[in-house]
Structures are given as structure tokens and as C-alpha cells.
Structure 1
């Protein structure tokens, strides 16, 4: 029997297996569904155009991508690493701590795990492996693990996507990610300290105390970006989308005027790279918008909610099931696809169970970030493997302790919603 929905799902899976982007696959599957049901296939294009052009929120994505690319093209990453080394580099396993600490800082600027790994990661990996103090696979592992913090601490491109499908406040979502992001950084640094002690990693050359003020002063223009962004958003001066524009302009001004590290040619290349990244995300969003229409017509959320209610799950039980599901899906699906396709199906159920959507959003985003470092298809694994020329298997072995630490942080975030909601409530959240 011909079921258009089943055929659409099968076609999406088949096209994905043959290497087509998930966005294109969803568009094709949606058109097949509409044609099979006798609907006008132009509904697919109308739905995605309305979704793309009527969402002011989505404008922030290309701007945050551009800001991150400009920072990677200039010397901001290098100066931030020197500052991080001055702060935490004096301890045993110090460059590992620098790796995590610099990710915490950079995450307040880029909102992208890939941007963190490609920009800061490339520099810190070279620092860690230069004198043979750390193996390339260990440097790659801790770089991949620390890059997951990027989209948790604001700004965050995945949180913008979650806000799109859940209709929650981006400003409060950003605030909800601050403490969980710091917790992830803390557990990764603790694990690095534990491993450094067991393996007797050397103490790295520390920055002299008299040099710290100079190093800090040189990094101040870059360090001010998170302050400007968060201060502007939570001070009511600008929306998150406007803040993204300010971030891109500020990164360009600092790189060109203050640090003088970006030439006209580099800026043009940066624009091209940002356009390619934006187009890739745009196709994914377009496909998800069209396929979400299919899911709605098929009444999948209501059917799934009814199925889950049969098991009489408590809110914590539901979150545990979601964690398991998202961690498994993260092994085979890209995070953006999970946020745009899978999560909207479960949002109504979470609401019905009384789960705060800010808390649910942070749990979901943390899961998708952990998915970036889980084999076989963790995207960050391939990014750092390409940088270090190490086998993915060797990186995964070194990554396992850090993955356990991140799962521990995820468990705490899941079971203690007040921890996630503490900062949003300070800013007036009443959900």
C-alpha cells in the first residue's frame, strides 16, 4: 500500500545515504509527500519562504557566522590564547587548561562549535604538540571536547534554531546557557587535571606576573565583545539579532583598526566562507521548514504524545528518554537536523508534562553538542582529525574520559532545572 509519509521518510534516508545534504533530502521528501496526498506541491516552497523571510530571528545566524569567521581571520584568537595562558597555563597540564579556558572565552563571541575548533583549536593544538609534551591525539581530543561549550554559552546558533521551533525567548535562552556552559568547562578542566597528574604531564612555562597586565591589555578589545553583546541584550539596548550585527561589526573594527590583522583580500575570503556556511545552514532550515509542515499534516506530534502518555512518564522520566534518544541520534545525525526535525515533535509533549521550555532547550542543545564528539559521525571528530592528521579511533580513545565528564554535566543539568533557570530568573524570567 502506498503511504506518502512512509515513502517520504524512505526517500530522505536514501538520499542522505547517497551523500545529498539533509536539507535537500527533506525538500524532496516533502514534495513527494505533497504529491502523494494530492496537494499542490508549491506548498513546500511557500512554507519555506514564509518561514525564512518572516523570521527576524534567523537574521542573527549569518551575522554570528560572519563574526566568528572574522575573528578567526584576524589575530583575536591568538591574543585570547595568550591571555588564557597567562591565567591558567602555570598549572600541571596547563595547555590543556588553556584549551578549555580559551573555549569558554571564545564561546562568548562565536556561538559555533566548529568555529571554535577550526579557529582557536588549530592554534592551541600546535602549541600543545610543538615540543612533544602532549600527543596529537590528546590535543585533538581535548580540543573537540572543549569546542562543545561554544554553542552553550551565549551567543549560540543552535539556541537560535531551538527558539525558532519552540517559540521561546532567545534572550532568556542565552541566559540559561551561561551556568551550564561554565559547568562543562569546569568538568573538562577537572578531567584534564586528573589525567595530567596520572600521566605526569609537565608544568608548562608560566607567564611572569609582571607580563600579565600587558597580556591582558592586549586582549581587552577582544574580551570586550562578550560584555558588549550580553550587556546590550540584557540591558534592553538591542535584540539578539541586532547584537549579532554589532558582533560582526565590532569583530571587523577590532581586527582591521585596532589589531590591523585583516587585509582586504582576507576580508573578501572571509565573506565568501561565511556565505558558504550560511547557505549550508539556510538549505537545512528550508528543508526542515518544509518537512515540519509534512509532520504537522501527518499529526505526528499528537500521535507521539499519545504514545508517550501510555507509559505514564514523569517529567524526569521523559527527559531521560529524550537524553538517550538524542545521544543515539547524535551519533548519526547533524545537530542542526536534530534541532529542526526531531525536537519540534517533542516540544508539545514537554509542555504538556510541565517541563520548562528553557530548561528543555538547554538539555537538547547540550545533547546535540555531545553528539558532535560521538562516533561514528561526530563532526568535531573529523575537524580535529583533519587538523592533526590522527586516526579518528585514536582521538576517540583519548576523548572517552572527557565524554564521560560531559555526560556527568548533562545529568546534573537534566536533574537540576533550577541550576539552568537561575540566571534567567535573575533577569526577570517567570516561566
Structure 2
């Protein structure tokens, strides 16, 4: 077992350091570890079989549909309408454009379910506006980077879909609803920090909008925000599953972009579908490789060893949960969210269940934890995209990000140790 742990994580770390793509690093490390237990041919067969069987899931069909819906939104003018509405909502607060950025990320991210898409779409629009108003580009990028993962907590979220698949059937509806309060708290916490910094720096407050402007912005945002009602209303009422909801999201966004707003045409669809297919293939390749890695870990008894070790270190649930959070924060700095979720959920879930922690609560905690990871160097995807659209460097944005990190860490502890923040809403609605 010790040899398996050393070979699996050692080879994975070496491959990552030398620049091998993460999906191939996971797959190669998994194959090498299987060689400890069986022949070359058997190892190759098992890895291929696990990757194929792991992706043979109706639930996973939701991921390409939500990715496609997000890309249609990006191209179809929906993001701009949400940003205009966010400007009306946050315009009278100190540092109005920073608040607009956070609110727009919450709305757009909750519809697209992608932090990277949100960072690109919202940040690409907000960065020039903030620069024109005299905002520090590094501060503007920091606000965008820290707030774009809110959409991974506010449903629909492909992260919760993957988590449900790993855990063997944790209710997707319960996970979706459980993410609302932490996601909203995350956005509000970031807005408080952004407001304090903006006040100190004297960033301008937007002019008071006229009633006509408010009505126009609200009217333009009603139909895009209606997608949330369609998806969540359908899932909670039992009208359709999360996978069927994702297909409905594609039809709805396509209708808005193609027929109602006419921002795209039929000729634009092949490029949008191809872009979505490429993104989907990357995500699903990582999922398949990570499922194979989870299999070799189970085969070698690695999760049980780590579980026993953690429980032997302390019998205090608070201390164990803190250790798990620290481990996940470290993992999040060098591993993308999906593979981290797939690899470490089977390791830590038995530990927290031994402590009596609810799987839905743990899913929200783990997602929030890994949201922080995509905002941190060296491989945070949101960090790279946010710096790119904000025309600033990673080195210059780290210091402005520190107060936002502090809020995110504080919220993580609050969500970890106060289960009702995540669970009370699903219980009130009677879906858990």
C-alpha cells in the first residue's frame, strides 16, 4: 500500500512538474500504479475500461449541455444584458463598477455554471469600463477573479453534478438548492470588501439611473434570469432531471439568442458547437482519467489508509475538518477543480461520514474550498483568464486579491462548521 501511494502521487507530481497535461498525468500515474498489482496488458485494459465505463453515465450528459448553453449566452448578447442590470443594482454603492462586476458574475455564473466563462464574459466588458473610471487594473481584475466562482455554488452547477456521480446518488436537487445561501454569502462578502477598498480609494459612484433606465435594464434581464426559474423550478418540482434541465437550458438560450434577440445567426452555430465540443472533451477526458485513478486508489486501499490516519491523528471532528480543508486548499493550488473533486471525494467522504457529516453539506464545503483554488496561483484557471481579460499580470494581482482571499477563507470556515447554512433551504423546500 505504501508503494502504491508513493508511485501514484509521486509519478503524478513529477509529470505535472515537467508540464504534462493534467489528464495525461492522471492517466499515466494510474497505469503505472496498476502495474504493481497486475501485468502490463491487464493494467492497460483496466485503465481503458474504467475510463470508458466511468463516462457511461446519463447524468454526465448535463455537462456538455450546460457548456453549450453558456457559450450560446456568451455569443448571444445575454451577458451584456445581465451586466446592464447589475449596473442598475449596484450603481449607487461606493465603487459601483466593482459591485456591478460581482453581481454580474453571480447572475451570469449561476446561469452558465462556469467560472471561467463568467470571468471572460463579465471581465471582458467590465475591465475597459473600470479603467475609464480610474480603477486600478489589478484591483479590477482581483474583483473579477474572486467573484467569478460564485456561479459554481449558485445553481445550476456542473460541479455538483460531478459530485453526485462520485458519491453514488447524492440528490442533485438538494445540492443545487444547498449552494444558494453559501453562493449569495460569498458574493455579499466580496462586495463588502470591494466597497471598503473603493471608499478608501475614492472610486466614483454611478449617477442615479432614471426610472426609464431601471425599467429597460430590468426588462432586458427578465428573460435571461428566467432560465434559472426554468431549470430550478423543473428540477425541484420533479418535472425533469438535471440532465433534462441542461437540454432545456440549451433550447431556452438558443431561442433567446437566435430568435428573440437575434444576436447570432444559423451560420454562427457550427463554431459555437465546435467550441463547446472541445471544452467538453477536455472536461470529460479529465473525468475519465480521474475515475480510473479513483479505481486504483480503491484497489490499493488508499482511501481507507488515509481515513484511518486522519482519524488516528485526532478524535476531534473540528480538527479533522480543518485538516481536510487545509489539504484541499493545498490541492486546489496545483490541480483543477474537476479532477480534484473526482480524486479526493472518495478519500475524504468516508472520513466525514464517520464523523456524522451530511454528504450534501460536505459537497458544498468541498466545492467552496476548491473555488478558492481556481483563484490562486500557480494553476488557477480563473486567475489566468481574469488576468488575461483584465490586461494585467498575475504578480500584480496577487496583493489586491489578499483581502478577498480572507473573506473566502472565513466563509469556508463558516460553511464547514455551521451545517444549516447549506442544509436549511433544502429542508424547508422538502427536497432533502
Structure 1 residues 66 and 339, CA gap change in structure 2 (3 angstroms): same
Q: Does the aligned pair in 2 maintain the 1:314–1:353 contact within 8 Å?
A: no
Q: Show the counterpart of 2:193.
A: 191
Residues in 1 aligned to 2:227 and 2:431: alpha-carbon distance in whole angstroms = 24
Aligned to 2:209: 207
Match of 1:50 in 2: 53
CA drift of 1:383 comes to 0.8
Residues in 2 aligned to 1:60 and 1:241: alpha-carbon distance in whole angstroms: 4
For residues 424 and 397 of structure 2, what CA distance do their matches in structure 1 show?
Answer: 35
- Offset, 1:429: 4.4
Q: How does 1:10-409 map to 2 (within 5 A)?
A: 10-39=10-39, 40-41=42-43, 42-53=45-56, 55-129=57-131, 131-167=132-168, 168-409=170-411
Q: Using a 3 Å threshold, how does the CA distance of structure 1 residues 7 and 322 change in structure 2: closer, same or farther?
A: closer
Deviation at 1:406, TM superposition (A): 1.4
Q: Which moves more between the two structures, 7-16 or 380-389? A: 7-16
Of 131-140 and 171-180, the range deviating more from structure 2: 131-140
Q: Distance in 2 between matches of 1:265 and 1:351?
A: 51
Separation in 2 of the partners of 1:423 and 1:164?
Answer: 22
- The CA deviation string for residues 222-241 of structure 1, in whole angstroms up to 9 with x for no partner, is 11111111111101111111
Q: Which moved more, 1:270-279 or 1:198-207?
A: 198-207
TM-superposed CA distance for 1:108, in Å, is 2.2
Q: Offset at 1:211?
A: 2.1
Deviations 1:58-95 (A, max 9, x none): 11111111111110011000011111111221222111
TM-score by length of 2: 0.95
Offset at 1:199? 1.1
CA contact (8 A) 2:118 2:148 kept: yes
Query: Equivalents in 1 of 2:314, 2:18: separation in Å?
Result: 40
Partner of 1:412: 414
Separation (CA, whole Å) in 1 of partners of 2:403 and 2:217? 32
Residues paired across the two proteins, number: 428
Residue 4 of structure 1: how far off its partner (Å): 5.4
User: How far did residue 218 of structure 1 move?
Assistant: 1.9
C-alpha separation in 2, matches of 1:248 and 1:61: 11
Residue-by-residue CA offset, 1:116-174 (whole Å, 9 max, x unaligned): 10112211222211x24211111111000110201000011111121121221111111
Q: CA RMSD in A?
A: 1.7
Q: Normalised by the size of structure 1, how large is the TM-score?
A: 0.95
The answer (yes or no) to whether the contact 1:326–1:368 under 8 Å persists in 2 is: yes
Rounded to whole Å, the distance in 2 between the matches of 1:373 and 1:279 is: 23
Distance in 2, matches of 1:64 and 1:295, equals 30
Residue 36 of structure 1: CA displacement?
Answer: 3.2
Residue 115 of structure 1 and its aligned partner are, at CA, apart by: 1.0
Shift of residue 267, structure 1, vs aligned partner? 2.0
Q: Is the 8 A contact 1:4 1:37 kept in 2?
A: no
Contact 2:109/2:149 (8 A) holds in 1: no
**In structure 2, distance between residues paired with 1:3 and 1:372:** 31
Contact 2:4 2:300 in 1 (8 A): no
Q: CA deviation at 1:377?
A: 2.4
Bigger Cα displacement from structure 2, 379-388 vs 349-358: 379-388
Distance across 1 between alignment mates of 2:102 and 2:360: 25
CA change 1:35–1:415 in 2 (3 A) is closer
Unaligned runs of 5+ in 2: none
